[in-house]
Structure 1
Amino acid sequence: MATNKLLFSVFLLLHLASFHSVSSKGNPNYADALAKSILFFQGQRSGKLPPDQKIKWRSNSGLSDGSAANVDLTGGYYDAGDNVKFGLPMAFTTTMLAWSILEFGGKMSGQLSEARAAVKWGSDYLLKAATQTPGKLYVGVGDPNSDHSCWERPEDMDMPRPVFSVSPSNPGSDVAAETAAALAASALVLQSQDRTYAQRLLLAAKDLMGFAMQYRGAYSDSVRVACPSYCSYSGYKDELLWGNAWLYRATKNITYLNFINSLGANDMADIFSWDNKFAGARVLLSRKTLVDKDKSFEPFRFQAEDFLCRILPNSPSKTTQYTPGGLIFKLSSANLQYVTSISFLLTTYAKYMTSSGHTFSCQNVLITPNTLRTLAKKQIDYILGQNPQGISYMVGFGTFYPQRVHHRASSLPSIANHPSHIGCQEGFQYFFSGNPNPNLLTGAVVGGPDQNDAFSDTRTDYTHLEPATYINAPLVGSLAYLAGRYGSG
């Protein structure tokens, strides 16, 4: 392990000079980063891969998923560097990809069809999970404990793949409402391509939202294996707010607005993630007052701006820590997920403010759209290499990026290069190897540096080296905005 760190240090020194010369010329190539951030989702695909699959070192996997419950749960995404499929992070990923397109699809240029395909890969799976068995929502495939005891390609999985679900007797308001949000947002994105399919998504979303509201409870109380990885730490009120907000946007039905007003969801937040949706819901609802000029939504604008004042570095009410290099720092594990999700909200709220010429104040500090965009851009630029380490945290972007990503499929030889089965325990020789991953997981954003901007490219360090779909999904929207404004840098 010490040798790995020495090699990393040498590699860092060799590339620092080139990083500074490149970054001093201007902006990163946002258009390239956007294309790669979307391509990453192909590396996370489960199921039978389509003919136009571009990440060729991946093959079909999980083709019997769902068989333990006599249903078809093939497809969807592996959430991170392992081979399990959890509905809560997958639904959040799908919602954020869809929201990215709704707000910034016009700036995606040639990447719009690829982004839509990424949304549909998620919505296809979530629709199956929601409609296969009346009264049940399937929320997980694969046991994380047995999965984590193996280091195995998804194409080689041979351990049991149990199936987990929620129902009226085992409620899961959070995962049901998040899945409803994902299906509703996907319907808005895909209706211009296939109206019938979009109607199916919306019908399933309405059913799920009704279930989430009627049978209250946190899904991780019903599905114990969700903890600790995807426990519902924030409870389910935030997802009820978020899900109803998306159903209201998709249907304009006043029933969902009445639900929103009845929730009393006044919890303050200075974070936004697959677990905690309060800030996202309030920004989404603020669109009604800032863009549509509906003043009855003003309370959500006040709450959204309270959130933003907790983030902005010069705000008197800031509750957010920053690294010495200027990166938002929330939690030590996979911190970049919070950076990308918060940056998306900054960029989106700035868009809404611009549409109405709106400004606001954090106590005595005036906040303009440019205030928010400047901070968001700084965060994205940091991820793409403008940071004290001079490293791009997006795999395959720039000249210097993580080589030993904590990701099973990427770190093991592909089926094409090693057709024979690699067993559960046999794979650990690759896990502990100091060699770079043999397969490039293009576009993957890893967990990122620590609170002091330090980073070591060590595969065993999953808190900093593991990518995840919910890190990339919000990044797509911010990169689309930046690519539209600055082009290729």
Structure 2
Amino acid sequence: MKKIMSLVLTAALSLSVVLPTATVSAASTYNYAEALQKSFFFYEAQQAGPLPDWNRVEWRGDSTMGDDVKGGWYDAGDHVKFNLPMAYSAAMIGWSMYEYPEGYEKSGQMQAAKNNLKFVLDYLVACDKGSSVVYQVGDGGKDHTWWGPVEVIEKKMTRPSYTGTGSCVVGEMAAALAIGSIVLNDSTYLTHAKSLFSLADSTRSDSSYTAASGYYNSWSGFYDELLWASTWLYVATKDESYLSKAEAYVPKLNRQGQTTNIEFKWSHCWDDVHYGAMVMLAKLTGKQEYKDFVQMHLDWWTVGYNGEKIKYTPGGLAWNDTWGCLRYATTAGFLASVYADYTDDSTLKTRYESFAKTQMDYCLGSNPSNRSYVCGFGTNPPVHPHHRTAQGSWADNMNTPPYHRHILYGALVGGPSSGDAYADTVQDYTANEVATDYNAGYTALLAKMCSVNGGTPLANFPQPEKKEDEFFVEAGVNSAGPNYTEIKAQMTNQSGWPARTIKDLSFNYYMDLTEVLAAGAKASDLTVKAGTAEFPVTCSEIKQYSGNIYYVKVKFEDGTNIYPGGQSPFQGEVQFRISAPTSTSYWDAKNDYSYDGLGTSSVVKTKKITVYDGSTLIFGIEPDGTTVTEGPTPTKTIAPPTPTPTNSSTVLKGDMDLNGSVNSIDLGTMRKYLLGLMPEITPIQLKAGDYDGDGKITSIDLGYLRKFLLGML
């Protein structure tokens, strides 16, 4: 987790790193519109609670639905909702919409910006409890002990919420809502901004802001947030009392060391927002004292002030800190852009505009490594960000799998060392952490870049990802005898599109009973018994699938106990034995469909043991060729077997394959008949499918069959 200062460096990782070269690629103009487009994808990947219908991240699902306050953004690669950096990030996006609406319009990202800003501001409103606020949901310590997708975190731990009146977080929430009230023209946000500012100003203490300790301490105190909030409330209301309050806070700001100067040698960030507030005061009042401060601060970032200057890497990055160096540089670039647009001094304008573009372009590829530091953008971007859900581990292990299953488009990583060295590895959270506040100033600066350079967002973004098998069975022969076969099966949940659980989870094991029937026995002469099971299961009686093919269904009483949350929970083992009577010798498993390929020494993944969510096939290939498509309806890859003739007087409505039961296979058969994808049907099949009795099968009958399968008839 990032910190406000690097007090102690972690032990060096044994990693290969990219060393800086002697030259830097020439700065160029990148497709800033694409970068801005993807930055909002990252914010959508951070969304908590019920996802809005405009969310574009196919590998994310509804999550932490038990939170006291639903919604908001997860902070970084973890799953805690910290309101201080969250509100700061929202404020920065709102500020960029205020300054550079044309950048959003030119890039086609205005609606995305509005959607994402409204999503988080609505959460901040819900956190406003009047005399206090919910300022954090989730325990940072517990959360960081587990490495898994957020959709199943509530299976692992409870998520406490923390309430208080800390002026730093309440003030930051007020500022974000005040800005939102302007750019989204929402009076509700302004009402809450006013009341929250009043609470923060009357409290003037951070004593109740404790739960974020060690993650987001209020190192700078609360006067910077009070200054920030009152300044924006003045912009939103034109009420002079807010401007008076803002100016009264300025003398209370922290000083630089032992000098009388206001602290200027850092960066606008989640902890300290007085830098941005002073930029706004300079613009609003034109007072020289505010302009002097802003120029002192920005000169420290660029050419130096009184012989003091921020450190630069050999490749040209203004490097402020070990943690999140790129977010500091791009945020400083945004402030420089805003002030450059305000000042009449042509020298300062050129200086600050050049600085902003140089820092942005360093992130996008103009650096010694000629690489992008933004996931899914540009040349050789990071592919191992320190982000649990994007990595998609099912085993509570950042090394499983050894790759990321998802592309975290638009996420700005922490960045390189002071020597431009960088390691793209998930273990290096210093270099490869991502966070909402990392992207905040970066997104804001992109809006400026788009306002000047335009750009073209990608069409049809994002493209669908290639999915891996999410639910499947690994099986082997546990033991066998002359009249029985015992199967060891491991039901596996490695879901990631999105990670999820299934309550009604089951699998089918198929048998060919030709030799049993030839011996004069019946399927009912066989028995199925569940043995060892990690989770409670039930085994069905042996049922006919088609012809001499039969199956047993092994159903988990509660499939949600198998989830992608660790070595133990992602897989559930069950052993079951299929037996003929003791004195018989006709049992032979070797011709069984699901037995094919199974060994005795270990389990193997097999598509011939099919997995179901309720009645819907989600993995494997049934004996007649039915397999899974991207949609919910299975499709046949080979022609179905010819139905066995049945007495027409006893035909079951909907039983299109005439096997004595009605299921999703019948629905698929009827749909194919209506689409002209199967041969002529028999009179008995016509009678089975003709629900409304009009002598033919139509879409009306298909509707009746669907309702029956859904339990509506």
TM over 0.5: yes
Return the alpha-carbon distance in structure 1 between the equivalents of residues 290 and 421 of structure 2.
37
Select which of 342, 347, 361 maps to 1:352.
Answer: 342
Counterpart CA distance in 2 for 1:372 and 1:434 is 44
TM-score (structure 2 length as normaliser): 0.58
CA contact (8 A) 1:80 1:469 kept: yes
Helix, strand or coil at the partner of 2:109: helix
1:288 aligns with 2:278: no
d(CA) in 1 for partners of 2:452 and 2:247? 37
Counterpart of 1:194?
Answer: none
What corresponds to 2:31 in structure 1? 29
Greater RCO, 1 or 2 (C-alpha within 8 Å, sep 6+): 1
Query: How far apart are residue 446 of structure 1 and its match?
Result: 0.6
* C-alpha separation in 2, matches of 1:470 and 1:189: 20
Structure 2 counterpart of 1:248: 234
The yes-or-no answer on 1:326 pairing with 2:313 is: no
- Give deviations 1:45-83, integer Å, cap 9, x for gaps: 1111122221111111111111xxxxxx10010111100
Q: Distance in 2 between matches of 1:300 and 1:46?
A: 39
Q: Is 1:310 equivalent to 2:300 in the alignment?
A: yes
Match status 1:389 vs 2:384: no
Structure 2 counterpart of 1:447, one-letter code:
G
Equivalent runs, 1:143-292 vs 2, <5 Å:
143-158=139-154, 159-167=157-165, 172-191=166-185, 198-218=186-206, 221-263=207-249, 264-266=251-253, 267-270=262-265, 271-289=267-285
Aligned pairs for 1:62-101 within 5 A: 62-66=64-68, 73-101=69-97
When residues 153 and 287 of structure 1 are mapped into structure 2, their CA distance, relative to the original with a 3 A threshold, is same
Conserved 8 A contact 2:70-2:123: yes
- Which residue in 1 is equivalent to 2:109? 111
**CA shift for structure 1 position 381:** 0.3
Question: Which whole-Å CA distance do the structure 1 matches of 2:426 and 2:363 have between them?
Answer: 19
- Matched residue SS, 1:476: helix
Q: 1:308 to 1:399 in 2, by over 3 A?
A: closer
Please list the CA deviations of residues 249-308 of structure 1 after superposition, one character each: whole Å capped at 9, or x if unmatched. Answer: 11111111121222223432222110011111101111114xxxxx4x332222212211
Runs of 4+ residues deviating >6 angstroms: none
Shift of 1:25: 8.9
CA distance in 1, matches of 2:88, 2:27: 36
User: Within 2, Cα distance between the matches of 1:335 and 1:324?
Assistant: 14
Contact 1:447–1:463 (CA under 8 A) maintained in structure 2: yes
Contact 2:15 2:423 in 1 (8 A): yes
CA change 1:434–1:332 in 2 (3 A) is farther
Report the residue type matching 2:122 in the other structure.
D
C-alpha distance in 1 between matches for 2:311 and 2:148: 37
In the TM superposition, residue 24 of structure 1 has moved relative to its aligned partner by: 5.4
- Which structure is higher in helix share? 1
Is residue 74–residue 80 contact of structure 2 (8 Å, CA) maintained in 1?
yes
Counterpart CA distance in 1 for 2:289 and 2:284 is 11
Percent sequence identity is: 36
Question: CA–CA distance in 2 between the matches of 1:25 and 1:382?
Answer: 8
SS at match of 2:452: helix
Amino acid at match of 1:480: A
Secondary structure of 1:409's partner? helix
Q: Does 1:469 align with 2:436?
A: yes
Given that 2:391 and 2:404 are in contact with CA atoms closer than 8 Å, whether structure 1 keeps it comes out as yes
Q: Which residue of 1 aligns with 2:44?
A: 42
Q: How far 1:146 sits from its partner (Å)?
A: 0.4
Look up the equivalent residue of 2:374 and give its one-letter code. M
Distance 2:15 2:382 in 1: 12
2:396 is matched by which residue type in structure 1?
G
**Deviation at 1:434?**
7.4
Q: How does 1:429-440 map to 2 (within 5 A)?
A: 431-433=398-400, 435-440=402-407
Structure 1 residue 317, shift from structure 2 partner:
4.3
Paired residue for 2:329?
339
Work out which of the two has the higher radius of gyration on C-alpha atoms and give 1 or 2. 2
- CA separation of 1:317 and 1:210: change in aligned 2, threshold 3 A: farther
Q: Displacement of 1:111 after TM fit?
A: 0.5
Structure 2 letter corresponding to 1:427: D
Quick one: which amino acid aligns to residue 345 of structure 2? H
**Counterpart code for 2:177:** L
CA deviation after TM superposition for structure 1 residue 178, in Å: 0.5
- 2-structure distance, mates of 1:143, 1:3: 27
- Shifted more, 26-35 versus 399-408: the winner is 26-35
The number of equivalent residue pairs is 430
> Structure 2 CA distance, aligned partners of 1:265 and 1:326?
35
Deviates further, 44-53 or 308-317: 308-317
> What code does the residue aligned with 1:30 have?
Y
1:94–1:473 CA contact under 8 A, matched in 2: yes
Conserved? CA contact 1:312–1:318, under 8 Å: no
- Partner residue of 2:449? 482
Q: Is contact 1:4-1:434 (8 Å) kept? A: no
Indicate which of 395, 409, 417 corresponds to 1:442.
409
Task: Say if 1:48 and 1:372 are closer, same or farther in 2 by CA, change over 3 A.
Answer: same
